[in-house]
Amino acid sequence: MFNACNKSDDDSPKEPDNVVDRGEQQIIDNDSLVGYLETHYYNSGDFVGNPNPSMNDLVITELLDGETVPVDHTLLMDAVQTRTTVFSETDYEYYVLKLNQGPGDMPNFSDTVRLNYSGNLLDESVFDNSINPVDFDLTGLIRGWALAIPEFSTSESFVENGDGTVSYYNPGVGAMFLPSGLGYFSGVSPGIPIYSPLIFRFELYQTRVNDHDGDGVPSYLEDIDGNLDVKDDDTNDNTVADYIDPDDDGDGIPTFNELEPKEYEINDGDSDPMFAVKEFVINRSEPDNDGKIIIKTVTIKDSNNDGTDDYLDKNIKIDYYDN
Ligand SMILES: [Ca+2]
Ligand SMILES: [Ca+2]
Ligand SMILES: [Ca+2]
Ligand SMILES: [Ca+2]
């Protein structure tokens, strides 16, 4: 009689009845999302050759029974890119609508981005939107954002208006269609029922590389396993993830001290020197106000060439600041 229930893939205890299984919820959510994308179209023609599109230009309309998609419009399902990812040991699909790539920099998944956005449920009710550009650290948001936003690039240029506001020209513009598992899932958030698929529209203006622990290694490089998640990498198993750990290999020498420092002096207006692949600018200053710029960098080294960088190798203890 103990064989009555289906055999599960692992031996983990059964979750309480009020906790929904991520995999089962994903099947439901993906059905909802595909259903939405197959029954809604958007004004694709308005984005063709548009030099400065906005997320507010996006108009999504429901396709009624027997209706065909109008000229200069496209069914969402025919326009979105389908993406797959694994999160919380669950296979997910989500959908990205690219309205404008933007010509600027592409953020890393761990960077801070400046953007405007609007979020709504599949029933079109808006649960959140920004009035002015906001800055978000992508590591502190729902999973879907860290995956979708870095597919776009920042704006071409901006102008400071007289009233203190800034106008951005030619930003990255898009929308993401997320299952609840890449959103708030069972979490409570204002205006969002639990297990809600989410739609976000956004326009991306600027990005800044984060180094959360200030150890000289940009956070995106502290994603050792390359799964676009900095929170599951812990080289020295001290329960502090590398991106917030200032001594990643736990050898007693701070990561920062294990990076080779360099200093460059250039004249104002001159372009930067060519930096090495694993060399990062940590400071740029004009100490004497004479037009001479001092650029300080650090370079990640692998001094014994074993494929493990010094700051992740507890057997290498080179301290560049220990004289
Ligand atoms: Ca770091
Ligand atoms: Ca990772
Ligand atoms: Ca670190
Ligand atoms: Ca160390």
Identify the CATH number of the domain in which residue 51 sits: 3.10.50.40
- Asked whether residue 187 falls in the same domain as residue 246, the answer is no
Ligand nearest to C-alpha 139: 2
Q: Is the distance from CB of 144 to CB of 176 less than 8 angstroms?
A: yes
Q: What's the predicted TM-score (pTM) here?
A: 0.89
For residue 18, what pLDDT is reported?
Answer: 63
- Cα 222 to ligand 3 centre (Å): 6
- Asked whether residue 56 falls in the same domain as residue 99, the answer is yes
In a domain, 7, yes or no: no
**How many structural domains is the chain composed of?**
2
Picking from 45, 48, 93, 33, the residue whose alpha carbon sits closest to that of residue 69 is 45
For residue 268, what pLDDT is reported?
Answer: 79
Picking from 203, 316, 202, 308, the residue whose alpha carbon sits closest to that of residue 257 is 316
- Asked whether residue 35 falls in the same domain as residue 162, the answer is yes
Tell which of 188, 208, 228 closes a domain. 208
Ligand nearest to C-alpha 217: 1
In a domain, 317, yes or no: no
Please give all residues whose CB falls under 5 A of ion ligand 1, grouped by chain where several chains appear: 211, 213, 215, 217
In a domain, 319, yes or no: no
For residue 16, what pLDDT is reported?
Answer: 52
- Asked whether residue 256 falls in the same domain as residue 204, the answer is no
274 Cβ contact partners less than 8 Å away, ≥ 6 residues apart: none
- Asked whether residue 226 falls in the same domain as residue 252, the answer is yes
According to DSSP H, which parts of the chain are helical? Answer: 22-38, 76-79, 143-148
Please give all residues whose CB falls under 5 A of ion ligand 3, grouped by chain where several chains appear: 213, 215, 242, 245, 248
- Asked whether residue 99 falls in the same domain as residue 140, the answer is yes
- Cα 298 to ligand 3 centre (Å): 14
- Asked whether residue 187 falls in the same domain as residue 224, the answer is no
- Asked whether residue 249 falls in the same domain as residue 297, the answer is yes
Range of the domain at 160: 22-208
In a domain, 5, yes or no: no
Q: In what order do the strands lie in the sheet with 279-285?
A: 260-267, 292-299, 279-285
In a domain, 320, yes or no: no
In a domain, 4, yes or no: no
Please give all residues whose CB falls under 5 A of ion ligand 2, grouped by chain where several chains appear: 223, 225, 227, 229, 232-233
* Helix H or strand E encompassing 97: strand 90-100
- Cα 235 to ligand 2 centre (Å): 11
- Asked whether residue 35 falls in the same domain as residue 129, the answer is yes
- Asked whether residue 92 falls in the same domain as residue 230, the answer is no
- Asked whether residue 275 falls in the same domain as residue 296, the answer is yes
Cβ-count burial of 177 within 10 angstroms (0-12 exposed, 13-18 middle, 19+ buried)?
Answer: buried
Low-confidence spans in the chain with pLDDT less than 50: 1-10, 15
- Cα 61 to ligand 3 centre (Å): 47
- Asked whether residue 169 falls in the same domain as residue 294, the answer is no
Ligand nearest to C-alpha 244: 3
Picking from 220, 15, 35, 188, the residue whose alpha carbon sits closest to that of residue 113 is 220
Tell which of 159, 189, 208 closes a domain. 208
For residue 9, what pLDDT is reported?
Answer: 47
Tell me how far the alpha carbon of residue 188 is from its chain's centroid.
22
Q: Distance between CA atoms of 223 and 150, rounded to whole angstroms? A: 15
In a domain, 10, yes or no: no
Tell which of 153, 184, 208 closes a domain. 208
In a domain, 17, yes or no: no
